[in-house]
Amino acid sequence: MLALIVACTLAIPSFGDASNVKNLLGQAAPLLLLAIGQTFVLLIRAIDLTQGVMVGVSSVVLFVLFKDIGPVGAVGVVLLGSSALGAVSGALVAKARLDPLIGTLAGMYILTGILMFRTGGSPLTETPAISGDFLIWLGTSSVGFVPVSFIVACSLAVMAHIYLRHFVFGLHIYAMGSNPTAAIAQGINRILVFAVAYGICGLFTGGAAILLTARIHQGNPHLGEGLLFESIGSAVMGGVLLSGGIGGVWAAVRGVAIFALIQNALYLTDLNSHVRDVVLGVMIIVGVVIKAERPGDSA
């Protein structure tokens, strides 16, 4: 990653500018939350395909609630609602013994249908003044050249790491992903572990939606399009295994850092958007291959 930063700085004059660094950190903040949320699910040998559409749902709900209960209430409802939906989804997947891929794929289609039916696919742009001030502060304010949104994301990342590594239930998540049979034999409740892991994923997805909504200052049902694959790709690139039990928050942080650096550098070079997608896809493969050749703890 350090070599990548040096190479980009030497090759692209504007890469090291304070304005670009601020923009880079602001863009990375929502993806960081999404990748951390997805990491909790990947660790239990599952996956959450509803992340992208949940970002759109949360963005629209946030904007609608602004008018009725203000920014603090709206943020609270979005976080609690996304967490609850995630927990219910995880519990259903575990209880019905559904393949997580199929279960969350069905959920993705259901949520997408409801979202598009209710909004017609059109973004919401009208918000009360106090809520608008809140969005401007969260989306554009910074401490020096570090955006407030990035500080919020990093703070949540630290909390997630502490929970995952130093709390009993975080260790249950690792146990369930490493050896489900042994974990269940030791008395670990599979349904509860799935509900918590998916609930945390939903919580971080709601947080990412709030940061993205603040950045563009509108409730957009299409806001999460493409972010699902970026969150999974970043986590895997950082060292979170799809087979479960290996990885952690810092692995997701590493993956997001590399992904965001490459993405930002490609944008600055004015490459065709389709070519950028090809390069990012190749980098994900390279990252996974390198990790496979250097096994070990990726926490």
Tell me whether residue 298 is in a domain: no
What's the full length of the chain, in residues?
299
Give the domain range for residue 229: 2-293
pLDDT digits (tens, 9 = 90+) for 99-144: 999 999 999 999 999 888 888 888 888 777 777 788 888 888 888 8
Tell me whether residue 138 is in a domain: yes
Q: How many domains does the chain have?
A: 1
pLDDT at 294: 56
Tell me whether residue 203 is in a domain: yes
- CATH code for position 181: 1.10.3470
Predicted TM-score (pTM) of the model is 0.92
pLDDT at 129: 76
pLDDT digits (tens, 9 = 90+) for 183-241: 999 999 999 999 999 999 999 999 999 999 998 888 899 998 889 989 998 998 888 98
- Give the least confident one: 169-183, 235-249, 273-287: 273-287
Tell me whether residue 23 is in a domain: yes
